[in-house]
Amino acid sequence: MGECVPVVRLSNGREVALTKDVVALLNRFARTEYSLEKLAADLGLDGWEEAYEFVKRVPAWIMWVQPIYYERVVLKELCSSG
């Protein structure tokens, strides 16, 4: 069985996997003065516009879930229901 990791697909076809580390970046973005430019750089995106599209496409509740909870509970639920 392969690893189950949800992805967010951007309009240009690029996909960003919603890993524990990406959720940690989203937590930081939601809770601090972490800029879209910095988020784009950390995710390997091509600028704040792609980062903005990514943030818009991620379900908002994921930005507030603790990364370890996401990894241990949310991913298991998502993967077992898929």
Over 90: is that where the pLDDT of 79 sits? Answer: no
Q: In this prediction, what percent of the chain has a pLDDT beyond 90?
A: 85
Domain boundaries, the chain: 7-81
Which residues make Cβ contacts (< 8 Å) with residue 8, sequence separation at least 6?
Answer: 15, 16, 18, 54, 57, 58
Give bridge partners of residue 43 from the DSSP assignment.
none
What is the pLDDT confidence band of residue 44, given thresholds at 50, 70 and 90? very high
The pLDDT tens digits of the residues spanning 8-40 come to: 999 999 999 999 999 999 999 999 999 999 999
